[in-house]
Amino acid sequence: MNIGQAAAASGISAKMLRYYEEIGLMPRASRSPSGYRLYTEADVQTLSFIRRARDLGLSIERIRLLIGLWHDRDRPSAEVKRIALEHVAELEDRIAELTAMRDRLRALAGHCHGDAQPDCPILEELEAGRPVPAGPRGRAKRAAPAPVS
């Protein structure tokens, strides 16, 4: 099949397919006499594997390792599990970071009255570069502007 057909069958764009070949994530396609790339069903299976791994947020390097393990019928499943659990731990760290960001922004938005007044704890914290303590009526205490050098 040609590149468009392989891309459609795997759910990966033709551009990404060419990129995966370029970085060696999958072998270069054979070529027709006129120079067009030709893909096999096995290539489409590999591309689908890559797409599903990317859908799980796996890095290219981890996908490269997993493809190698997938093709190795004597593979230890413990290695596959190790790679998956490393990724899970990284996802949990990212979730914790995103949760902390969400909670901080939600708290700041809760202290912002969102009215016609210029006071805004969100902008004040961004300006100060550190959390600004809430003042009376839940508004951030205004910090003195930083001196201009």
Contact 112, 120 (CB under 8 A): yes
Distance between CA atoms of residues 139 and 18, nearest Å? 54
pTM (two decimals) = 0.75
- For 136, phi then psi, to 5°, come to -60, 145
How many percent of the chain have pLDDT more than 70?
87
3-state SS assignment for residue 9: helix
DSSP notation for 46-85: HHHHHHHHHHTT--HHHHHHHHHHHH-TT--HHHHHHHHH
pLDDT digit string, tens, across residues 64-97: 999 999 999 999 999 999 999 999 999 999 999 9
Distance between CA atoms of residues 149 and 146, nearest Å? 9
Domains of the chain, first to last? 1-58 (1.10.1660.10)
Task: Tell me the average pLDDT across 127-147.
Answer: 57
Task: Tell me the average pLDDT across 133-140.
Answer: 51
What residues are paired with 116 via a beta bridge? none
Mean pLDDT is lowest, of 2-11, 19-28, 99-108, 116-125, for: 116-125
Distance between CA atoms of residues 46 and 26, nearest Å? 7
Mean pLDDT is lowest, of 10-24, 47-61, 130-144, for: 130-144
Core vs surface per residue 59-79: b (16+ CB within 10 A) or e: eeebbbbbbebeeeeeeeeee
134: confidence class by pLDDT, cuts 50, 70, 90: low
